[in-house]
């Protein structure tokens, strides 16, 4: 199989991270209650079997970490070592020790200037504060100054998960939608035009709720006059296909964003090999007007991440 795809939603489990959060936490977010495992060999095997040239590695969400700045620095170094051991097979979205803004600014400098990271993974909320909160302004300002990429991934929401399904099933996409709305309503897109945000899992419910959200924002005094058309902000997000490959999802994305803002993602290893193959088969057969799957698989991410 030709190895052409770029997987922008690919998680890794550095040992220091697993030791810190424990396998029970990793299992708790899985619908089957079983913790996924990861190794470089298993990742490359999955990529080879699914036509993936490169996985952009990131450490997924977890509980608040003690001494987060030190631990996440070690995770970022582990991702850089992974890239060095397997040239051309892995990129990296480095982790930031938010909500510690000063430590995060130091990590941005180290990750870009020393590790040559492709961007950063940030979570939908920290301590109940969504990403449009003024707390995060210095981080967005620095990332905008550098023209960086921020990959937004859901984490355990700051409220009790309803006893319906594990948080990853429903609350994760809902929280992605909340933080996207937070960024739009705060005017982040107006202030930071060079910062590119990727939304996990096709933006959660955002494509479906885009008309409702846009109308509601237009009714909030002064927002449209100050920050512009909310649909333009929705269009400026990038969206990955991880755990979201389907004709209805792609058709919705085609209505709210530009075709070159749709990226391929697997969510490995939280997505099982069976799920990745199933979603891959669906994507291979999708025919949505305006969407070229070769661009989704590679060209869009290559342009965003400087791989052209």
- Summarised one tens digit per residue, pLDDT across range 145-190 is 999 999 999 998 888 888 898 877 888 999 999 999 999 999 998 9
The Cα–Cα gap between 150 and 165 comes to 28
- For residues 8 and 240, the answer to whether their CB atoms sit within 8 Å is yes
The Cα–Cα gap between 186 and 181 comes to 8
Q: What domains can be seen in the chain, in order of their start residue?
A: 5-305 (3.20.20.140)
pLDDT tens digits, 229-238: 999 999 999 9
Pair type for strands 238-240 and 196-199 = parallel
Q: End-to-end CA distance of the chain: give it in Å, rounded.
A: 21
Average pLDDT, the chain: 92
Q: Which residues of 173-195 are buried (b: 16+ CB within 10 A; e: fewer)?
A: bebbbbbbbbbbbbebbeebeeb
* 69-95 average pLDDT score: 97
Q: What pLDDT is recorded for position 31?
A: 65
pTM: 0.94
Output 240 or 30, whichever has higher pLDDT: 240
pLDDT score of 77 more than 80: yes
Q: Exposed/middle/buried for 54, CB within 10 Å: 0-12, 13-18, 19+?
A: buried
Report the chain's C-alpha Rg in angstroms.
18
DSSP string, 195-214: PEEEESGGGTTHHHHHHHHH
- For residues 44 and 89, the answer to whether their CB atoms sit within 8 Å is yes
* 29-51 average pLDDT score: 86
- For residues 44 and 86, the answer to whether their CB atoms sit within 8 Å is yes
Q: What pLDDT is recorded for position 33?
A: 65
- For residues 107 and 69, the answer to whether their CB atoms sit within 8 Å is yes
- For residues 51 and 6, the answer to whether their CB atoms sit within 8 Å is no
Q: How confident is the model at residue 32 (pLDDT cuts 50, 70, 90)?
A: low
pLDDT tens digits, 99-139: 999 999 999 999 999 999 999 999 999 999 999 999 999 99
Q: What pLDDT is recorded for position 26?
A: 66
Residues pairing with 91 in the sheet: 56
The Cα–Cα gap between 163 and 32 comes to 15
What is Dmax (Cα atoms) for the chain? 54
Specify the DSSP element, H or E, that contains 125: strand 125-126
Residue 49: count other Cβ atoms within 10 Å of its Cβ: 13
Question: How many distinct helices (H) and strands (E) make up the chain?
Answer: 15, 10
pLDDT score of 19 more than 70: yes
- For residues 246 and 262, the answer to whether their CB atoms sit within 8 Å is no
Q: How confident is the model at residue 28 (pLDDT cuts 50, 70, 90)?
A: low
pLDDT score of 39 more than 70: yes
% the chain with pLDDT above 70: 96
Residue 3: count other Cβ atoms within 10 Å of its Cβ: 14
Token pair recorded at residue 166 = 């594990």
Token pair recorded at residue 3 = 């190895």
Q: What pLDDT is recorded for position 266?
A: 97
pLDDT score of 37 more than 90: no
């Amino acid at each position: 199989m030709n190895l052409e795809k770029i997987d922008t939603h690919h998680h890794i489990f550095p040992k220091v991270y697993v030791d810190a959060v424990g396998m029970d936490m990793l299992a708790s977010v899985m619908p089957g209650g079983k913790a996924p495992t990861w190794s470089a060999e298993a990742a490359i095997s999955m990529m080879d079997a699914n036509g993936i040239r490169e996985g952009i590695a990131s450490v997924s969400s977890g509980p608040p970490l003690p001494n987060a700045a030190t631990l996440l620095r070690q995770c970022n170094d582990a991702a850089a070592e992974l890239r060095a051991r397997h040239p051309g097979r892995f990129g990296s979205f480095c982790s930031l020790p938010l909500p510690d803004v000063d430590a995060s600014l130091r990590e941005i400098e180290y990750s870009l200037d020393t590790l040559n990271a492709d961007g950063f993974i940030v979570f939908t909320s920290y301590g109940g504060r969504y990403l449009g909160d003024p707390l995060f302004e210095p981080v967005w300002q620095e990332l905008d100054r550098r023209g960086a990429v921020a990959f937004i991934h859901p984490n355990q929401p700051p409220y009790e998960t309803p006893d319906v399904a594990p948080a990853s099933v429903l609350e994760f996409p809902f929280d992605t939608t909340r933080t996207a709305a937070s960024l739009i309503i705060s005017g982040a897109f107006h202030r930071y035009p060079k910062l590119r945000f990727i939304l996990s899992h096709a933006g959660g419910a955002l494509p479906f709720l885009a008309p409702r959200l846009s109308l509601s924002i237009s009714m909030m005094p002064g927002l449209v006059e100050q920050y512009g058309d909310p649909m333009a902000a929705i269009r400026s997000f990038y969206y990955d296909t991880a755990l979201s490959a389907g004709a209805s999802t792609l058709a919705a994305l085609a209505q709210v964003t530009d075709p070159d803002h749709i990226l391929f993602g697997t969510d490995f290893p939280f997505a099982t090999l069976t799920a990745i193959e199933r979603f891959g088969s669906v994507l291979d057969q999708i025919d949505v007007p305006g969407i070229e799957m070769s661009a989704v698989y590679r060209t869009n991410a290559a342009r965003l991440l400087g791989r052209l």
